[in-house]
Amino acid sequence: MFVRTATASTTAAALLGAGALLLPADRPEAPERQGQDAPVVVAHRGASGYAPENTLAAVDAADALGIEWVENDVHRTRDGELVVLHDTDLKRTTNAEQVFPDRAPWAVKDFTAAEVAKLDAGSWFGARFTGARVPTLTQFLHRMERNRQKLLLEIKSPATYPGIERDIIRVLGRSGWLDRSHVRSRLVIQSFGADSVKKVHSLRPDITTGFLGTPAVADLPSYAAFTDQINPSYATIGADYVAAVQRLKGPHGKRLRVNTWTVNKAADAVKARDYGVDGIITNFPDVVRDATS
């Protein structure tokens, strides 16, 4: 789901400062709580309801809203640079087709880091974001460190990038994200690829890992051998499934956690909370926070 900005509210303007974020004036009211603990709120590709996804602007948007956890997506360029964007191609969220008209299908893996750095990754979302760039993973990590945020890092299409797990760990280490404090409380690496999650676990058993998907309940014990989290689509879960996951312990001896995605409506956030999820991944982290706290 890709949502552009809406009219700013007076409260948001006061909170974020002039020219910072535009928040929707018709945000849904938060239903009354049922007594459950509030789940952790994770800003999906940054606060991507308010700024272009996976850009530094989206990281800062989450920070301005007081959101600690940010989810992102990592690919690798032709010359080995790790960059942060969602799709395997550059068409939807950059002007690659205009800048490089003869380079179809504009796959990330076919472009150098210098070429990707030329692209506008903001104007598709709104004119005031014109000139935003696709950040490298290093740039993304530095911005999050400046903001004292926490990272849920997704390895995208790992089969396309053999060895990307080792590359990611190398960059994390160079950026200071593999010390004790980061590994214990500020970093999770996840993927839809079970083999990729297993690879991360084998390379750095201390890192918290997550599997994206909804494995059958009967298969959950095999996942618990290498992942600490099962992170399913909201549309695929209920309270029974969440409880089945949480009955198991992961490789670090702690119960498996459940972070569900992508929940953007207050009513759905309350349902997810009432299912017992540990975290909710959302484009609108303020809406989910207000609904579940």
Query: Which residues are designated catalytic?
Result: 44, 86
Choose among 241, 250, 290: nearest CA to 269: 290
Choose among 240, 241, 213: nearest CA to 229: 213
Question: Hey, what amino acid is at 206?
Answer: D
**Alpha carbons 222 and 250: distance in angstroms, whole number:** 10
Phi, psi of 149 (to 5 degrees): -95, 175
**Alpha carbons 175 and 178: distance in angstroms, whole number:** 8
Q: CA torsion angle for 94, 98, 103, 106 (degrees, to 10)?
A: 20
Burial of 51 from C-beta contacts in 10 A (0-12 / 13-18 / 19+): buried
**Alpha carbons 224 and 67: distance in angstroms, whole number:** 28
**Alpha carbons 138 and 74: distance in angstroms, whole number:** 11
Burial of 73 from C-beta contacts in 10 A (0-12 / 13-18 / 19+): buried
**Alpha carbons 228 and 14: distance in angstroms, whole number:** 39
